[in-house]
Chains A and B, each alone.
Chain A
């Protein structure tokens, strides 16, 4: 979240990456890219949408190239499909992609943590946000790893403050149970996190 009156720039992203590398001693591990697509129904009559879902979210995760995730936020439904589903959607022409958001950046290894810092860029190429993904590798249980991830986040906030970054990071906390997801962490959880992150980002941009 940039401070009041501050424009989001790539400079802030570079600063954040610097924090990870220099202050925390992260080792750069490569690049990553996740894409979020907003699908809207192709209606013959614009006025009468009836009970058709007005929005379908599609997520292509950086580390799950063979899969594609669909979310219906209003219905709290998530579906994992083969990545060829995107070609299928193209053929069906029932729901069409309207907005595509790319999340991309660098990833770092910090001991037992894998950290991804990146920018959120729509097709218009105007920087919309900066986000960070933190993965604690040894554990798959959300409950068991909650404390350690919160501690990491606190350290991160301190590091960023010392560096006088003109903004601060907000923790995204989706309600996984709403989507029928369990304590064992899966890529579906990640897809839900991206969807929730977007909702928060949109709300923040509006305010």
Chain B
């Protein structure tokens, strides 16, 4: 199982704010990095994943199924993960929590809370990873996941929820599919983080 929330963040200079801040270059993603560094002190890793989504043909399987093949291109030797996303927890209890809990089967082991900041890029033709262009220029997807089991998912939900609160100045984080847009005051928060980055501890 896994607990997951998603949000979006602006990834380029916001020219509107630049006019009001005397040309100070603001990178929300950099500010997020500083915030995360303060929270967990874990060094960042590069993400470069080639994703193939396979859907079962019309006659195969009692119900349609989907599986994702993920090739990690950031490692010296590319490695493949096969990932099946199952149904999400439903019902009154699930409505009340702000984190999505769903079944995941992966052909690889999971780790602690993972924060991924990525831009989705579409390839003009199959396997042409170097020719991919951003699907949403200027906006990146932030995803926070944590592995969970049936016995402990409520603790993981609580951990992810409180982690999200720390990131609130920069990000609206919610269940995938329930988009809440960007934080209007993110630029100010980012400026604050960038200027205080040397002295501030969170």
- Please tell me which stretch of B44-52, B105-113, B131-139, B166-174 contacts chain A, meaning at least 4 of its Cβ atoms lie within 8 angstroms of it: B105-113
| The one of B58, B60, B108 that contacts A82, using a Cβ cutoff of 8 Å | B108
Given contacts A88-B105, A88-B107, contact A81 B82 (CB under 8 A): yes
- What's the least CB distance linking B160 to chain A, in Å? 23
| The one of A48, A49, A52, A84 that contacts B105, using a Cβ cutoff of 8 Å | A84
- CB contacts under 8 Å to B, within A71-115, are 81-82, 84-85, 87-88, 91-94
Interface size class of B (residues with CB under 8 A): 10 to 19
Is the CB of A206 closer than 8 A to any CB of chain B? no
Is the CB of A142 closer than 8 A to any CB of chain B? no
Closest chain A residue, CB of each to CB of B86: A91
A41→B62 CA distance, assembly (Å) = 10
Closest chain A residue, CB of each to CB of B66: A92
B59 touches A44 (CB 8 A): yes
A87→B1 CA distance, assembly (Å) = 13
Interface, chain B (partner A; CB < 8 A): 56-63, 65, 67, 82, 84, 86, 103, 105-108
Interface, chain A (partner B; CB < 8 A): 41-45, 48-50, 52, 81-82, 84-85, 87-88, 91-94
A48 touches B59 (CB 8 A): yes
Which residues of B lie under 8 Å from residue A94 when comparing CB positions? 56, 60-61, 65
A42 touches B82 (CB 8 A): no
Which residues of B lie under 8 Å from residue A45 when comparing CB positions? 59
B57 touches A92 (CB 8 A): no
Which residues of A lie under 8 Å from residue B103 when comparing CB positions? 91
29 A-B pairs in the complex with CB atoms less than 8 angstroms apart: A41-B60, A42-B60, A42-B61, A43-B59, A43-B60, A44-B58, A44-B59, A44-B61, A49-B59, A50-B57, A81-B82, A82-B107, A82-B108, A84-B106, A85-B107, A87-B105, A88-B67, A88-B105, A88-B106, A91-B65, A91-B84, A91-B86, A91-B105, A92-B61, A92-B65, A92-B84, A93-B62, A93-B63, A94-B65
Q: A44-B62, A52-B60, A88-B82 are in contact. List 19 more A-B contacts (CB 8 A).
A: A41-B60, A42-B60, A42-B62, A43-B60, A44-B58, A44-B61, A50-B59, A82-B107, A82-B108, A85-B82, A87-B105, A88-B67, A88-B84, A88-B105, A88-B107, A92-B56, A92-B61, A93-B61, A94-B56
A2→B105 CA distance, assembly (Å) = 44
The 5 residue pairs across chains A and B that have the minimum distance between CB atoms? A82-B107, A94-B61, A88-B105, A92-B65, A91-B84
